[in-house]
Amino acid sequence: MTIKIMFGPDNQFPPVIKTPLPPKTEQQLTPAPEKPGIGRARKTNSSSMDKERDKDKDRDKDRDRIAEILAELESYIGLVIVKRLIRDLQAFVEIQKRRTQEKLIAEPLVLHMIFKGNPGTGKTTVARLVGRLFKEMGVLQKGHIIECERADLVGEYIGHTAQKTRDQIKKALGGVLFIDEAYSLARGGEKDFGKEAIDALVKSMEDNKDNLVLILAGYSQEMDWFLQTNPGLRSRFPIHIDFPDYTLNELLAIGKLMFKTRQYELTQEAEDALRFHLHSLLSSHRYAGNARLVRNLVEKTIRKQAVRLFQKPSSSREELIRILPEDINLENL
C-alpha cells in the first residue's frame, strides 16, 4: 500500500500523511439458513392435516357404501336368520381389524362358507351381496363373484379337471367363488374326476386364503352328506348358513314386489287369487317355497294379461297396469 506525505509551501506545518482507503466492494448479502419456525410448522401440520382429512373422507365413503349394502340386505323379504348372521360376520371382521390396528392378537379371517337350502331361497343373491360387503370392508380386493357348477370344474380326462378348476379359481381371485350343487363333486365315487376338483379347491383355499372366499351351496341334506364324506372340508368352512323356505305371506310379498317393479298392480280380487294359488303350490310342490317359482308365476301372469288385452283394439294406461284374477293361472307352471 502506498503512503503519501505532503509538505506545506512554507514548510512550517507538519507534513500531512494520507493513507488511501481500500477499494469499495459491493456487499453481498447471503440469506440466513432457514430455521424451523412457526411458518414451517404450519406447513407441515397443514399437509398432515390434509392427509388425515382425506383418510377420514375415504373412511366415511366406505361406511356409507357398507350402510347401503346392509340396507339392501334388510330390504330383502324374509331371510331373518341370514340377515343376522351376515351382520354378525360384519361385526367380527371389523373388530378383528381394530384389534390388528392396536397390535393385539386377532383371529384369522377364515370366511369360507356353506349355504344350505332349496333352490330359489336367496343363496346366490346373498353370495353376491357378501362379495360387495367384503370388498368395502377391505377383506377382498374386487368383491366380484364367479358362479359355477360341476360342469365348469370337472374335466373329461386325468389332469383336465385340475386345470379347469384352477382356471375358475384364477377368475375368482379377489372375490367370491360360488359353487352351486357342490355335493355333485363327490357323487361319482373314488374314480370320479370330481374328487380331483375338490383337492384343487382345498389347495387353492390354502394358497389364496387372504384373497378368495369360497362358498359351496346346495340342498341341505345333500350338503350334509357331502361334508360327511369329506371330513377335512368341514373344518375349512367355519360358516354355515341355512336358507329356509319362504312362508306363504313372504311369497305373496315377493310376488307383489315383482309386479310393482314391473309397473303392474293387482286388484284386490287378483291378490286374493294369487294367495290362493300360492297356498295350493305350497301344499303340493316339494320346493314351492322359493322365489324362483313365484317369478315364473309372475311372468306367466303378465303374458296372460297381454293375451287378454291383445283381443281389444286399444288399451288405456290403467288397463295396461291392472292385473285381474283371470290372468293368474298355475297351468304348466
Determine the average pLDDT of the residues in 176-203. Answer: 88
Last residue of a domain, one of 219, 243, 267: 243
Does residue 219 sit within a domain? yes
Same domain, 212 and 322: no
Same domain, 81 and 181: yes
Q: Quote the Cα angle for 45-51-57, to 5°.
A: 135
**Which residues constitute the domain of residue 95?**
58-243
Determine the average pLDDT of the residues in 253-278. Answer: 96
Question: Between 155 and 214, where is the model more confident?
Answer: 214
pLDDT at 185 over 50: yes
Report the alpha-carbon distance of residue 269 to residue 152 in Å, rounded. Answer: 46
User: What pTM was computed for the model?
Assistant: 0.78
Determine the average pLDDT of the residues in 152-164. Answer: 89
Does residue 313 sit within a domain? yes
Question: Between 223 and 189, where is the model more confident?
Answer: 223
pLDDT at 7 over 90: no
Does residue 333 sit within a domain? no
Determine the average pLDDT of the residues in 262-266. Answer: 97
Q: Which of 327, 205, 203 is nearest to 270 (CA)?
A: 327
pLDDT at 78 over 80: yes
Question: Between 262 and 193, where is the model more confident?
Answer: 262
- For residues 77-98, one letter each, b for 16 or more C-beta atoms within 10 angstroms of the residue's C-beta and e for the rest, the string is bbbeebeebbeebbeebeebee
Same domain, 231 and 259: no
Give the model confidence (pLDDT) of 319-330 as tens digits.
Answer: 999 999 999 988
Same domain, 142 and 178: yes
Does residue 49 sit within a domain? no
Report the alpha-carbon distance of residue 266 to residue 272 in Å, rounded. Answer: 9
Give the model confidence (pLDDT) of 30-50 as tens digits.
Answer: 555 555 544 544 555 667 777
Q: Following DSSP, what letter does each residue of 208-255 receive, concatenated?
A: TTTT-EEEEEE-HHHHHHHHHH-HHHHHH--EEEEEPPPPHHHHHHHH
Looking up residue 273, the CATH number of its domain turns out to be 1.10.8.60
Determine the average pLDDT of the residues in 6-34. Answer: 55
Of the given ranges (11-20, 50-59, 166-175, 315-324), which has the lowest mean pLDDT? 11-20
Determine the average pLDDT of the residues in 201-219. Answer: 92
What does the pLDDT read at residue 187? 80
Domain count for the chain: 2
Last residue of a domain, one of 227, 243, 259: 243
Same domain, 132 and 87: yes
Does residue 149 sit within a domain? yes
What does the pLDDT read at residue 38? 45
pLDDT at 6 over 70: no
What does the pLDDT read at residue 330? 81
Which 3 state secondary structure label does DSSP give 117? strand
What does the pLDDT read at residue 316? 96
Question: Between 213 and 329, where is the model more confident?
Answer: 213
Determine the average pLDDT of the residues in 48-64. Answer: 75
Determine the average pLDDT of the residues in 206-214. Answer: 91
Last residue of a domain, one of 243, 272, 293: 243
Mean pLDDT of the chain, nearest integer: 86
